[in-house]
Structure 1
Amino acid sequence: MNMPASLPALLFGALLALAPPGQAQPRSYTLDRDHSWVHFEVLHFGTSTIRGRIGPIEGSVTLDPAAGTGEVGLTIPTATVDTGLAVFNSRLRQDDLLASTAHPVAYFVARRFSFEGPRVRALRGEFTWRGVSQPLELRAQRYTCREAVHEGARVEVCGGDFEGEVSRSEYGATFGLPLVGDRVRLLVQVEGRRPLP
């Protein structure tokens, strides 16, 4: 499933969507590549846990906290998988797992939000990987926003950690089952910025 090249510009920041209260206008954030990654965990032989990360991820968000609406998405470059072991990274990129040649990018797009007061606590949307789309919820573990100076300009920085899980077999990645777990825990680390006047 091919996504348009412009999709990253609509993407990921609703994970940056927890803007401070009292904002009446939509706000747009651009993801900071240095601080935006997807980490994953999979149980191995019922004993230890395989861990790694993919990224950096790219995207942006537009959110209207007063209206409780927004749009978020992310692009995840699957060939960047890193477990700390080069030979294992290469194995994960193969067609029966990440399929990084045929499907170099995975996507998450969400337009449904759950709030606790003015802050987003969960995002519900679709995760597309290996050409298959399935529902996915990402839940906020923590989130905060602050003012900072970046390259001489005032900005608002928002960031946090979000958690979700997928069953890889639902996307056709069945290699190693059941010795290697089907459930994949996702930990999404994001930071985004917007200019301040």
Structure 2
Amino acid sequence: MWCLAAALLLATAAAPAAAQPVDYALDPTHSSVTFEVLHFDTATIRGRFSLLNGTVQWDRSAGRGRVQVVIDTASVSTGVPVLDALLRRDDLLASGPHPQAFFVAEQFSSGADGAVQAVAGEFTLRGSSRGLRLQAQRFRCYTHPLLRREVCGGDFEATLPRSAFGITHSLPFVADTVRLLVQVEAIRQTP
């Protein structure tokens, strides 16, 4: 009986502990959302939302997690102040009544190496919510040499129809399809 108890104790001690989700906070200096939309079928209008914050909870071994990102819609910048003011108006981004856009996701797709390949969830803009899948172009984690903490990040891409969020201004001269390029880095938080 004693041998059986000792064997069970050793087996329990040798078994790997169940993985726990790890908390990360987006680094706002290394995170942004860029958009591209075709203008008069000749050139691409590009802009960037530079003010965003968020959190990630990720259980790497289980391939599960939760992402919450808040984007300040008034932080839109195209490099053309007149266009930026136009984009903030109520018939476009509606930054006054809807100062924030949100992305909340709980569906992670991971590769064999554990790297995130896609994140799917719900994107809310101007009070309207639609499903959105961000496809990873690259993703990796490393130990930051100055912070001495794990940092994970990558580049993600998606497209969405702006009309689904009630943004129909200038259609069809400015395309309905908007390409999103999302750059994120998140810093592991201490337990």
TM-score range, shorter chain: 0.7 to 0.9
- Structure 1 residue 116 displacement after superposition: 1.0
TM-score (norm 2): 0.87
1:125 matched to which residue of 2?
Answer: 121
SS class of match (2:175) = coil
Moved over 3 A (4+): none
2:154 matched to which residue of 1?
Answer: 160
Give per-residue Cα distances to partners, 1:25-53, cap 9 Å, x unaligned. 21111111101100000000001000010
Identity %: 54
2:166 matched to which residue of 1?
Answer: 172
Matched, 1:74 2:74: no
Paired AA for residue 118 in structure 2: A
2:13 matched to which residue of 1?
Answer: none
Contact 2:25/2:189 (CA < 8 Å) preserved in 1? no
Contact 1:38/1:189 (CA < 8 Å) preserved in 2? yes
Alignment CA distance shift 1:99-1:195 (3 Å): closer
SS class of match (2:74) = helix
2:103 matched to which residue of 1?
Answer: 108
Q: Which runs of 5+ in 1 are unaligned?
A: 1-22
Paired AA for residue 160 in structure 1: G
- Structure 1 residue 195 displacement after superposition: 4.8
Matches within 5 A, 1:1-197: 24-117=19-112, 118-150=114-146, 153-195=147-189
Contact 1:154/1:196 (CA < 8 Å) preserved in 2? no
Give per-residue Cα distances to partners, 1:125-170, cap 9 Å, x unaligned. 10000000001000000111111244xx521111110001110101
TM-score (norm 1): 0.84
SS class of match (1:91) = helix
In structure 2, distance between residues paired with 1:131 and 1:113: 25
Higher relative contact order (CA 8 A, sep 6+): 1
In structure 2, distance between residues paired with 1:132 and 1:167: 12
In structure 2, distance between residues paired with 1:166 and 1:144: 25
CA RMSD after TM alignment? 1.7
Number of corresponding residues: 174
